[in-house]
Amino acid sequence: MRTISIGKAARESGVKVPTIRYYEQIGLLAAPERTESNRRTYTDDDIRRLAFIRHSRELGFEIDAIRTLIELQEHPAAPCAAADAIARRRLEDVQARIRKLRALEQELERMLASGVHGRVHNCRVIEVLADHYKCVHEEH
């Protein structure tokens, strides 16, 4: 079985060394074996786990969701419903964020369209930012 240093594990997995240590500290990655000189050593399974965590984080999954997904991996014959539910919640979060960003985009477009060439004393941007109730995109 191949074992590698933390630096090489970081390069192969795309996860920075301090982050690897953090994942060990919070239990997402098992404490690695150590050499006689007390250096951490990692296996190919560790590299796969780190890549899984990195990809999950890139997709915006929270640490607790990743922890659950890792636990689910340990039961390959179990139904996928729990993993699907986690992904569905993440999708709903992303869709909600997109809706908010679109509303924000529209509000900024309205602000800019209504007074680009005026003076500061009647500037729509300043006016809306100064009075949140003039913002169209949010409920008050």
58-77 residue pLDDT tens: 999 999 999 999 999 999 99
User: Helices 63-73 and 81-113 sit at what angle, rounded to 10 degrees?
Assistant: 150
Cα dihedral 81, 83, 89, 93, rounded to 10, equals: -150
Average pLDDT, the chain: 89
Q: What is the length of the chain?
A: 140
- pLDDT for residue 69: 96
pLDDT band at 126 (very low <50, low <70, confident <90, very high): confident
82-102 pLDDT per residue, tens = 999 999 999 999 999 999 999
- pLDDT for residue 110: 81
Report H helices in 35-80: 44-58, 63-73
- Strand intervals (E) in the chain: 33-34, 40-41
- pLDDT for residue 66: 97
> Alpha-carbon torsion 3, 6, 7, 8, what sign?
positive
pLDDT band at 115 (very low <50, low <70, confident <90, very high): low
45-63 pLDDT per residue, tens = 999 999 999 999 999 999 9
Q: Give residue limits of the domains in the chain.
A: 1-78, 79-140
- pLDDT for residue 140: 47
The CATH fold assigned to 1-78 is Multidrug-efflux Transporter Regulator; Chain: A; Domain 2 (1.10.1660)
114-128 average pLDDT score = 69
